[in-house]
Amino acid sequence: YALSGLKWDKTDLTWSIHSYPNPSTSPGLANNVVEDLLTRAFKAWSDVAPLNFHQLRRDSNGATAKGDIRVSFDSMFHEDGYPFDGQGGTLAHAFFPGTLDISGDTHFDDDEIWSYAGDSRSTDLFTVAVHEFGHALGLSHSSSDPSIMRPYYQGPVEDIAHFKLAMDDRLAIQQLYGVKDADRPGGDDPDFPRLPSPPPPRPTQHSDPSFQERCQGGFDAIGNIRGEVFFFKGAQFWRTQRDGSLVSLNPAQIKNFWIGLPEGTNKIDAVYERKSDSRIIFFIGSQYWVFKDTVAMAGYPRPLSDWGMKKKSGERVNRVDAAFIWAHNGKTYLFSGGEFWRFNENIENGQRTMQPEQGYPRENTLWEGMPAPIDGIISWGEGNTYFFKDNSYWMLTKGVLNQDDVTPKSIAVDWLRCPAPPSTSTPANPRFPKKCTCNFLG
Amino acid sequence: STSAEPDQYSRAVDWLGRYGYLPRPDPYTSQLLTKEGIEEAVRIMQRFGGLRETGKLDSETLKLMSKPRCSLPDIVGRDDILRRRRRRKR
């Protein structure tokens, strides 16, 4: 078992319910059933440790008393830093004991179908509640099997009325609060390292000089590297994480981070992370570099001619606009001018093929509605393809080359944490460049 | 290397960071996650989840990552530990 390093300094604890499951999502789970299930979930812990739980109910004015552990059913963003994500995914969370207002509070995702002893489509409230109350009492996730504190939902327990905690969980709670009916309830302070205090908050640093650069778009290259999106512009770059946050509002300098590019590099044409070995490939002009993490490998740069790309006109390609791996088929696509080439970069017989597949180049127009030439392309999200040009981006659903609705959106607003411009005008749609776009107000 | 598609890969990196297996990026050092670092994080995640430790985003690992779960991290305080170590070194 694992302990959080925090525990209540008392054994009589109060709890209250501040909202109930949505009856339309969780039919058949009446409020009194919810109360009964939560009471039983607390009992699982008080059966083995000298803990007493008292439910606080609404007072005569209808206000719900606070209590130590406040239970609620919430959806999506609910202002505690742990947003829910609709049905499936994250189910619930609880805050460790302490003196903060939020300490001990337990939140269940209201978009789940909560039930008890239900079918496989629903989630068993009792089982999840026992787990979360473990956190509210000071336990962390356990890797032991069996343990109710394993992080993954394991399905409903067999018999709620006779549920008993596994040995791992009993030992954990008794380490914190002692053994039930022991002479000295409360237990000794556990012998484990305390978590350090969080560093003091730092004031927000304004980044005015780079604000314009970041928010006006026009990126040289955009790549999905190590699960983040890198936006290169001039001699610098920004990084956007999966949750939409920026690693920093301030740009990083290419020369300080990517070691091995020529002195004075102030434009990257294209970049992508190779699927087979996670190497990172940079294209600048008629050369390319292969990086292991942040350092260029020996023997680079090499000429772009290694890739064997020829235009339909027969000319050799002397620069790359964009490179990406299409999540749909795992193949690498390089774009130049109005044409693109496809590569299978899997290693076969110890060799990596560097020649384009038969039938290429093809016209960019196959990707219907996408602009050309393009600044950057990535596979992202649920495997969808994102095309970037100037300060707009377009999204094609996974595996799709042409879809009816391809509305351009703002890179600055959606990817780089810039404020939305005051104007309501929509960027031009490259698919119908001369066509007016009417909005609801227009 | 990983057998996962790019979208699965970036989703997995996000998942590993969310549940404490990878450090969240530090805006002051802006380090890049290394391939080896990600593989090690996958290995720890596999060990924690009772899977075979391959360090690869194989189908069993991706399946476990897609299971409904508690929002709290499995490894608590990894960033704090790293920060303390750095401070001590300095």
Which one of B1, B11, B69 has the shortest CB-CB distance to A276?
A: B1
| ipTM value for the complex | 0.84
CB A219 within 8 A of CB A376: yes
CA–CA gap between residue A167 and residue A149 (Å, rounded): 11
Please tell me the predicted confidence (pLDDT) of residue A434.
44
Which one of B14, B34, B67 has the shortest CB-CB distance to A242?
A: B14
CA–CA gap between residue A26 and residue A45 (Å, rounded): 26
Could you tell me which chain B residue has the CA closest to the CA of A82? B71
From chain B, the residues in CB contact with A383 under 8 A are: 5-8
pLDDT at A431 > cutoff 90 = no
Could you tell me which chain A residue has the CA closest to the CA of B19? A151
Better-scored residue on pLDDT, A243 or B61: B61
Please tell me the predicted confidence (pLDDT) of residue A165.
96
Does the distance separating the beta carbons of B70 and A91 come in below 8 Å?
yes
Name, in order, each residue with C-beta under 8 angstroms of A267's C-beta and a sequence gap of 6 or more.
A220, A234, A284
Burial zone of A79 (CB within 10 Å; 0-12 exposed, 13-18 middle, 19+ buried)? exposed
- Among A residues 35-74, those touching chain B with beta carbons less than 8 Å apart: none
Residue A290: strand pairing partners: A281
Burial zone of A204 (CB within 10 Å; 0-12 exposed, 13-18 middle, 19+ buried)? exposed
Contact status of B73 with chain A (Cβ, < 8 Å): yes
Please report, in tens digits, the pLDDT of each residue of chain B (90 residues total). Answer: 445 666 788 889 889 999 999 987 766 666 788 888 899 999 999 999 999 999 999 999 999 999 999 999 998 765 555 555 556 665
Contact status of B29 with chain A (Cβ, < 8 Å): no
Please tell me the predicted confidence (pLDDT) of residue B4.
61
* From A132, A228, A363, A382, active-site residue: A132
- Among A residues 298-337, those touching chain B with beta carbons less than 8 Å apart: 324-325, 327, 330
Is A348 tagged catalytic? no
State the average pLDDT over residues A201-208: 40
Contact status of B90 with chain A (Cβ, < 8 Å): no
CB A398 within 8 A of CB A242: no
pLDDT at A110 > cutoff 90 = yes
Rg over CA atoms, chain B: 14
State the average pLDDT over residues A399-428: 76
CB A405 within 8 A of CB B31: no
CB A252 within 8 A of CB B27: no
Which one of B7, B25, B68 has the shortest CB-CB distance to A123?
A: B68
| Lowest-confidence pick of A83-87, A126-130, A243-247 | A243-247
Residue pLDDT, tens place only, A42-89: 999 999 999 999 999 877 676 767 899 999 999 999 989 899 999 999
Residue A435: strand pairing partners: none
Does the distance separating the beta carbons of A227 and B10 come in below 8 Å?
yes
Average pLDDT over chain A reads 85
Contact status of B27 with chain A (Cβ, < 8 Å): yes
pLDDT at A442 > cutoff 60 = no
Tokens standing for residue A175: 């380490």
Residue B86 parent element (H or E): helix B78-89
CA–CA gap between residue A349 and residue A331 (Å, rounded): 18
pLDDT at A242 > cutoff 60 = yes
CA–CA gap between residue A307 and residue A334 (Å, rounded): 10
Provide the residue type at A258 as one letter. Answer: W
Residue among B47, B32, B4, B60 nearest A141 (CA)? B47
CA–CA gap between residue A229 and residue A414 (Å, rounded): 12
Residue pLDDT, tens place only, A364-394: 989 888 888 899 999 998 889 999 999 999 9
Residue A347: strand pairing partners: A352
